[in-house]
Amino acid sequence: MKELHVLVDYENVQPSLEALAKLAPGFTDVWLFYGPHQAKQAQAFAGSNEWVTLVPRSGKGSNALDFHIAFYLGYVAAKHPDAQLVVVANDRGYDPMLAHARMLKFNARRVGYKAPVAKKAAPVKSAEPIVVAVPAKKTVAKKAVAKKGVTKQVAPKPAVPAKVAVVKKAPAAKKAPVAKKAAAKKAVVPKPAKAAQPAKPSKPSPAPQVTPEAKILARIQKGFIKMGSKAPQKVKPFLRHVGALLGKGSTAEQVDAMVAKLEAAGSVWFIGDEVVYGRK
């Protein structure tokens, strides 16, 4: 089986081992090139996997890691001329080098990687309260004992339907000279329930806040767009201009980080020493 060497620009993309297996099925060796800001992440990536070789970046500069990968690509090609060589990066600046390698009959190519976007969970709707109507109790009037030994039948009054019927006892009647009077219980008609008021509309969710880093990135992007053809066309003047836009006291690490953000956003990329502006 032919060897398949994967060279990962870890400053540009951060795929997992499972993702690499899909990008380059059957790889035999992984060369992981990383900067000082990805040291812990790179160590965790390698773990105890014997086929992963970590290559830290030495020196500074926006293209420092790119030249590391170019050097190792030539080294691996010389040691294993029949192996397949795959560079994993979204930076198209590698393409001329890989085209030249293919012209020299090497099996070399570049593949890009796009990290999956996690789906947001749908908000759970609150359950509406269920109103159960309670049938009103029927009120049955007792038989009243008529005076002077004559018994009369008192018909019960029809109960008015309502959700809840409240029954109050009538006060006891005074003793009559001949017989006791029984007062029938009266059904109290409940007051009609108030109509339910419509729910107040929920307040709109506040707009997401823009981070200071995103504001700086947008400001630098607009600055290069306004410059048009006057924007720096070479790497060194470009880096100096980015440092000037970041402000006095900006470090080389801050400039490198901003250049990486510009590349990730597709606002700029590099072909050798040339700077190209626009979307990828």
Q: Mind listing the pLDDT tens digit for each residue in 84-94?
A: 999 999 999 99
Q: Name the more confident of 131 and 232.
A: 232
CB 213 within 8 A of CB 250: no
Q: State the pLDDT at residue 104.
A: 94
Q: Among 67, 85, 111, give the residue marking a domain's end.
A: 111
Mean pLDDT throughout 254-274? Answer: 80
Q: Name the more confident of 84 and 159.
A: 84
Q: Examine the pLDDT at 60 and tell me if it is beyond 70.
A: yes
Q: Name the more confident of 65 and 190.
A: 65
Q: Among 61, 78, 111, give the residue marking a domain's end.
A: 111
Q: Among 76, 111, 146, give the residue marking a domain's end.
A: 111
Domain count, the chain: 2
Mean pLDDT throughout 174-191? Answer: 52
Q: Mean pLDDT across the chain, nearest whole number?
A: 77
Q: State the pLDDT at residue 156.
A: 56
Question: What CATH number is associated with residue 104?
Answer: 3.40.50
Mean pLDDT throughout 9-26? Answer: 92
Domain that holds residue 224: 212-277
Q: Examine the pLDDT at 34 and tell me if it is beyond 80.
A: yes
Tell me if 104 is assigned to some domain. yes
Distance (Å, whole) CA 243 – CA 254:
8
Tell me if 258 is assigned to some domain. yes
Range of weakest confidence among 50-59, 116-125, 138-147, 242-251: 138-147
Tell me if 68 is assigned to some domain. yes
Mean pLDDT throughout 195-209? Answer: 64
Which parts of the chain fold into alpha helices (H)?
17-23, 39-46, 64-79, 95-103, 212-227, 235-246, 252-264
Q: Give the CA distances from residue 136 to residues 128, 133, 167, in Å, rounded to whole numbers and listed in that order.
A: 25, 9, 10
CB 24 within 8 A of CB 103: no
For the CA atoms of the chain, what is the radius of gyration? 41
According to DSSP, residue 37 is labeled G
